[in-house]
Amino acid sequence: MKRVYFDHNATTPVHPEVLDALLPYLKDAWGNPSSIHWAGRDPRKAIDGAREQVAQFLGCSPVEIVFTSSGSESDNFAIKGTALAKRSRGNHIITTQVEHPAVLNTCRYLEKEGFRVTYLGVDQSGTIDLEELEEAITDETILMTMMYANNETGVIFPVEEIGRIARQRGITFHTDAVQAAGKLPLDVTKLNCDLLSISGHKIYAPKGVGALYIRRGVRVVPLIHGGHHERNRRAGTENVAGIVGLGKACEIAMRDMDTEVAHIRSLRDRLEKGLMEKIPHVRLNGHPEKRIPNTTNLGFDFVEGESLLLNLDMLGIAASSGSACTSGSLEPSHVLVAMGIPPELSHGSVRFSLGRFNTEEDVDYLLENMPPIVERMRSMSPLWNEAEKKGMFMALEEK
Amino acid sequence: MPAHLFCLKAMKNRRVIVAMSGGVDSSVAAILLKRAGHEVIGISMQLWDYSEKEDLSATRGSCCSLEDIWDARRVAETIGIPFYVLNMEKVFSKEVVDYFVKSYLTGETPNPCVKCNSEIKFNILLRKAFELGAEYVATGHYARIVKDASGRYHLLSGVDRTKDQSYFLFSLTQNTMAHVLFPLGELTKTEVRKIAKEAGLKVSEKGESQEICFVEDGNYRNLLAERAGTREGRIVDTSGTLLGHHTGLFGYTIGQRRGLNIKDGKGPYYVVSMDTERNELIVGRKEELLSCGLYARELNWIKEPPAAPLTVEARIRYRHSPVDAIVTPRTDGGAVVRFLSPQGAVTPGQAVVFYRDEEVLGGGWIERAIRESDEKDAEELCNQDPRVQGKPVRFHSP
């Protein structure tokens, strides 16, 4: 069976160059990088090199990079670590309703621990209102955490401006840049952020490695205590191969960004346009321009997204209904709900996220196979037949 | 080749959804269908919301726990079929849990498994199957569906009578049965376990699932107390004499003897009925439990609905040895069922299922018992020999 992968926001394949770079650290250079003897030297050198690669990618100094196990750990570290570090200064945190669960659930946890959290809403295009943000700030506000690009819709937040506001008010600003990495320029100075999370496996490095940028002088209480690894900020013997992979992936992302973004954007647009032409009553969720170039989130009226995904899977097409972390849950996507999309419509939404190894044939395979599935499923939907009769679509489209 | 496999082979290469609970029965159902050459897709339904619990591993022993979904996935991986988990919490909560609670609150004893079959497995899941391009839903029930020459489907009890689950399936309709497969109907549990073992399944020794899958440790009272609160009330005998106090009606079932805490020294007493309006638990002597019949509602006939009173073997609860009875259909879709010998503990809310030998003719929900002690009912029904009333008709075997 043909296999087509359109779920790069969930994870990406390991780039062959990344694999080549990291394999020696599983085979030959297996030493502990903290050891003073010969066995530790190569792994130590490799980690230092990787740290430089990541620092270059983010436009910061290597000492400002802490390696972690994942994007989720980076988010937890940034948010809990700041909350604990600044507890005496205040107890208010501002975030948004559309963050990744790694941020949202960390904030909910902190609420139980006595912090107050403001969850800013978004408009129909999925973006926040900066005036509302400014109004939410109080003297107690110690942290703002807002994502750079949304994992479900790809919508980009105005991080630079958010960062500027935070800096003016002396509030620590963290951004989850897991989905932006490799797709948008990541210059921490321009972005005005104090903390920034990235994840390896979203940028063609392996799973199990991430990084947190911590601006020099910003204090973050560690999550994991133990040895003196990562300059006392994150204990645990380093995942050397993973770190080397992440470094290499950052180098490749920087090197290939311009060409890859153009390639992926043209495929994404072809996919999006094709589906909208071939299938009636398809809506784009999220801002059409202000979004990362690889993502399209489409609503298919009167079809259940879950069944649609299983049908696609049976044809070898991988897509998703939102974040992989919430799959298996029929709760309407919290992102689409926050955008004001009614649950019955958000249920029929599917996210296609493309990557550098996708081809035109992949897109054509989808364009050929998906319309008949939607048509068949709609023909079985009593709601669809009723709506067609009553001309309900007109009403929906006017909304 | 065993007959059941031959039957399955006769219809080749169909796409079949198997409802997999993680237990040995549904696992073997999937194996048999795969061996018969079908395109099998395993589905586990997540029916109960575990997300509120801090530690997910704490939930176990129910037929839809996360641990069971894990088992089902491992089985699907072992036998090499695609597997998906469908989240059906909302519809399960509405169709089964709400029904369960409501039933108790009206003084009945619900049968959630029947409801889960008719509303979830053979309704929502079947629709899902169609959406996925499948023609059949298969389960690990011990029961058989047979199609006769005229194209009508018949529901028969499983060959393994000790495991027969046809009682829970009386609400199947002809339309549904055309799309349902029971691959285990011709097998015994021993044979099923053997197949599982030979296929190298770790679940081959797994125990039977609990009766009420969505309550932990079988303690449904906590759920009811949470949903409805408890209301203490009086325990009285059939003539209204106060004997004690109860801790909330839903803590009791018809026929229950233990835990009544009546200390008048004249026991034993048994729960005979419940009066939800007055919040009273009515107890009586063992003979007061006996009923000579019952009223049933919402009948479903798998055979042609009878136009006249019909002699059947009636089962008033799972594992009840059937009693000869006469069913007189009412115009409101219910029926009067008269037993040829009195039966104990007729329980409103449970199903009454009509058999002729191994065939399920139909069934309904028990509305209330007709007691020998109830003078009016007795006069109408019990003191007359039911056999001389109306003329019983007989079905001819297919």
Domain harbouring A157, CATH code: 3.40.640.10
- For residue B177, give the amino acid letter: M
Residue B82 to residue A306, Cβ atoms within 8 A: no
Substitution target from A310, A325, A373 for chain B, most B beta carbons within 10 A = A310
Give the integer Cα–Cα distance in Å for A256 and B310: 80
Asked if A380's CB is within 8 angstroms of B131's CB, the reply is: yes
> Which of A253, A269, A288 corresponds to the end of one domain?
A253
Cross-chain CB nearest to A307 (options B41, B88, B132): B132
| Residue that has been written with the tokens 């003016």 in this structure | A168
B216–A contact, CB cutoff 8 A: no
Under the phi-then-psi rule, with left for phi > 0, alpha for psi from -120 to 50, and beta for the rest, what region is B175?
A: alpha
Whether B59 contacts chain A with CB within 8 A: no
| B127 CA: distance to closest CA in chain A (Å) | 9
Q: What is the pLDDT of residue B259?
A: 82
Nearest CA in chain B to A372: B133
| Number of C-beta neighbours around residue B242 at 10 A | 10
When the pLDDT of each residue in chain B is averaged and rounded to a whole number, the result is: 83
- Tell me which DSSP letter residue B131 carries: H
Average pLDDT over residues B77-87: 91
So which residues of B are the catalytic ones? 116, 213
- A93 lies in the same domain as A36: yes
Predicted pLDDT of residue B60: 41
Our CA dihedral for A229, A231, A232, A233, rounded to 10 degrees, sits at -100
Average pLDDT, chain A: 92
- Which of A105, A108, A112, A314 to mutate to test binding with chain B, by most B CBs within 10 Å of its CB? A314
Tokens of B284: 């009586």
pLDDT at B64: 53
Strand partners, B314: B323, B354
CA B248 remoteness from chain centre? 25
- Split at pLDDT 50, 70, 90, the class of B6 is very low
Q: Smallest Cβ distance to A377: which of B41, B85, B131?
A: B131
Mean pLDDT computed over A373-380: 90
Measured distance CA(B158)–CA(B1) in Å, rounded: 19
β-bridge pairing B143-147 and B153-157: antiparallel
Exactly one of A60, A107, A250, A325 is catalytic; name it. A325
Q: Of the candidates B41, B84, B130, which has its C-beta nearest A380's C-beta? A: B130
- Order the strands of the A349-353 sheet from edge to edge: A282-284, A295-300, A349-353
For a pLDDT cut of 90, what percent of chain B falls above it? Answer: 43
Range of the structural domain that residue A239 is part of: 16-253
Distance CA B118, CA B95 (A): 10
The tens digit of pLDDT for each residue in A301-334 reads: 888 888 899 999 999 999 998 644 444 445 678 9
Distances (CA, A) of B138 to B159, B238, B317: 17, 47, 24
Closest partner residue to B85 (CB to CB) among A328, A376, A377 is: A328
User: How confident is the model at residue A396, as a pLDDT?
Assistant: 43
Q: Let me know: does B257 contact B289? Beta carbons within 8 Å.
A: no
Nearest to B132 among A310, A329, A330 (CB): A310
Crossing angle of the two packed helices A240-278 and A38-58, in degrees rounded to 10? 40
Write down the pLDDT at residue B49. 62
As a whole number of Å, the CA-based R_g of chain A is 22
Give me the sheet containing B83-87, strands edge to edge: B83-87, B39-46, B15-19, B136-138, B180-181
3-class DSSP assignment, residue B283: strand
Amino acid at A33: P
Say if residue B25's pLDDT is above 80: yes
Is A231 in the same domain as A261? no
Evaluate whether A162 touches A131 at the Cβ level (below 8 Å).
no
DSSP assignment of A262-292 equals HHHHHHHHHHHHHHHHHSSSEEE-S-SSSB-
Statement to judge: residues A354 and A236 lie in one domain? no
**Which one is predicted more confidently, A102 or B57?**
A102
Chain-chain contact of B133 with A380 (C-beta, under 8 angstroms): no
Does residue A392 surpass a pLDDT of 70?
no
Report the alpha-carbon distance of residue B262 to residue B388 in Å, rounded.
Answer: 42
Cβ neighbours of B47 in A, within 8 Å: none
A152-167: pLDDT as tens digits: 999 999 999 999 999 9
Average pLDDT over residues B272-296: 88
Closest CA relative to residue B392, chosen from B291, B311, B325, B317: B311
- Touching check for B130 and chain A: CB below 8 Å? yes
User: Are residue A125 and residue A270 in the same domain, yes or no?
Assistant: no
pLDDT at A366: 98
Question: How many Cα atoms within 13 Å fall on the side-chain side of residue B203?
Answer: 25
Answer whether A82's CB lies under 8 Å from A174's CB: yes
Q: Tell me: pLDDT of B286 over 90.
A: no
Residue whose token pair is 């209480």: A221
B45 → chain A, closest CA residue? A328
Q: Is B50 on the interface with A (CB under 8 A)?
A: no
Residues of A in contact with B128 (CB under 8 A): 307
Q: How far out from the chain centre does Cα B324 lie?
A: 20
Q: Does A221 lie in the same domain as A278?
A: no
Residues of B in contact with A313 (CB under 8 A): 82
User: Which residue is closest to A311 within chain B, CA to CA?
Assistant: B132
For residues B202-223, give the mean pLDDT: 70
Give yes or no: residues A34 and A74 share one domain.
yes
B41: chain A residues, CB-CB within 8 Å? 314
The domain boundary, picked from A222, A253, A284, lies at A253
* A contact set with B (CB within 8 A): 304, 306-307, 310-311, 313-314, 328-330, 376-377, 380
CA-CA distance, B46 to A191, in Å (whole number)? 43
Residue of chain A with shortest Cα separation from B127: A380
Helix/strand number for chain A, H first, E second: 16, 12
The pLDDT score that the predictor gives to residue B240 is 87
- A263 and A314 in a common domain: yes
Residue A239's pLDDT is what?
Answer: 98
H/E stretch holding A150 reads: none
The CATH number linked to A317 is: 3.90.1150.10
pLDDT score recorded for residue B249: 84
Average pLDDT of the segment spanning B216-239: 79
Number of structural domains (chain A) is 2
Poorest-pLDDT segment among B206-210, B259-263, B333-337: B206-210
Which chain A residues are Cβ-neighbours of B87 within 8 angstroms? 306, 328-330
The count of residues in chain A is: 399
CA-closest candidate to residue B323, choices B335, B314, B331: B314
pTM of the model: 0.81
How far, in Å, CA of B34 to CA of B25, rounded?
A: 14
CA distance A145 to A229: 26
**Length reported for chain B:** 398
* Mean of pLDDT values over B25-45: 94
Return the residue matching tokens 């109830």.
Answer: B374
CB within 8 Å: B133 and A313: no
Place of tokens 């600044």: A86
Higher pLDDT among residues B172 and B9, named by residue: B172
User: Cα distance from B133 to chain A (closest Cα, Å)?
Assistant: 8
Contact B88 A330 (CB under 8 A): yes
Q: What is the pLDDT of residues B291-325, one digit of tens each?
A: 889 999 999 999 988 888 999 999 999 988 999 99
pLDDT score of A380:
83
Question: Do B133 and A330 lie within an 8 Å CB cutoff?
Answer: no
- Establish, for the pair of chains A and B, how many residue pairs have beta carbons separated by less than 8 Å: 31
DSSP label at residue A201: G
Q: How confident is the model at residue B71 (pLDDT cuts 50, 70, 90)?
A: confident
Residue of chain A nearest B125, judged by CA positions: A307
Q: Chain A within 8 Å of B82 (Cβ-Cβ)?
A: yes
B90 contacts A376? CB cut-off 8 A: no
Q: Which of A253, A268, A285 is the last residue of a domain?
A: A253
Nearest C-alpha in B relative to A304: B131
Pair of tokens at residue A370 = 């998906």
DSSP string, A50-107: HHHHHHHHHTS-GGGEEEES-HHHHHHHHHHHHHHHTTTT--EEEEETTS-HHHHHHH
Please give the backbone phi and psi of residue B292, each rounded to the nearest 5 degrees, phi first. -100, 5
Look up residue A395 and give its amino acid.
Answer: A
Which domains are seen in chain B, by residue range? 3-218 (3.40.50.620), 230-287 (2.30.30.280), 290-388 (2.40.30.10)
Question: A343 and A197 share a domain?
Answer: no
pLDDT band at B2 (very low <50, low <70, confident <90, very high): very low
Q: Are A328 and B46 in contact (CB < 8 Å)?
A: yes
Indicate whether A81 and A228 sit together in one domain. Answer: yes
The whole-number average pLDDT for the span B269-277 is 88
* CB contact B88 to A (< 8 Å): yes
Cβ of residue B90 closer than 8 Å to a chain A Cβ: yes
Pairing of strands A4-5, A317-318: parallel
Q: Which residue of B has its CA nearest to A378?
A: B131
What is the Cα B266 distance to its own chain's centre? 36
Task: Tell me whether the omega of the peptide bond preceding residue B342 falls within 30 degrees of 0, making it cis.
Answer: no
* Number of C-beta neighbours around residue A223 at 10 A: 16
Report how far residue B64's alpha carbon sits from residue B192's, in angstroms, rounded to the nearest whole number: 21
**Is the same domain home to A98 and A203?**
yes
Assess contact for B393 and B309: CB atoms under 8 A.
yes
Report the C-alpha gap between B215 and B64 in whole angstroms. Answer: 11
C-beta atoms of A376 and B85 within 8 A: no
Do A328 and B87 count as a contact with CB atoms less than 8 A apart? yes
Are A238 and A288 found together in one domain? no
ipTM over 0.85: no
Higher-confidence position of A89 and B68: A89
One domain, residues A266 and A245: no
Q: Which amino acid is at A334?
A: H
* The pLDDT of residue A398 is above 70: no
Quote the CA–CA distance of B232 and B219 in Å, as a whole number: 19
* Contact (Cβ atoms closer than 8 angstroms) between residue A361 and residue A4: no
Most B-contacting residue of A3, A108, A307, A379 (CB-CB within 10 A), to test interface: A307
DSSP element (H, E) containing A255: helix A240-278
Place of tokens 């955008």: A339
pLDDT at position B393 is 39
- B233 forms beta bridges with B246
Token pair recorded at residue A107: 């904030």
The nearest CA of chain A is from the CA of B155 a distance in Å of 28
The residue among B214, B130, B244, B113 whose CA lies nearest residue B180 is: B130
pLDDT at residue number B209: 66
Task: Average the pLDDT over B28-34 and give the result.
Answer: 96
Strand partners, A184: A181
Helix (H) or strand (E) run with residue A386 in it: helix A382-390
Nearest CA in chain B to A306: B86
DSSP E strands: which ranges in chain A?
Answer: 4-5, 65-68, 92-96, 116-120, 141-145, 172-176, 195-199, 210-214, 282-284, 295-300, 317-318, 349-353
| Single-letter code of the amino acid located at A80 | K
> In the numeric block, which tokens belong to residue B297?
């509602």
pLDDT tier at B1, thresholds 50, 70, 90: very low
- Tell me the per-residue pLDDT of B334-386, one tens digit each, with 9 for 90 and over: 999 999 998 888 999 999 999 999 999 999 999 988 877 665 665 565 545 44
As a whole number of Å, the CA-based R_g of chain B is 22
Q: Do B46 and A376 touch (CB under 8 A)?
A: no
Residue in B371, B346, B352 with CA at minimum distance from that of residue B314: B352
Q: Are A182 and A9 in contact (CB under 8 A)?
A: no
Chain A partners of B88 at a C-beta cutoff of 8 Å? 330
**Two tokens, residue B293:** 């019949």
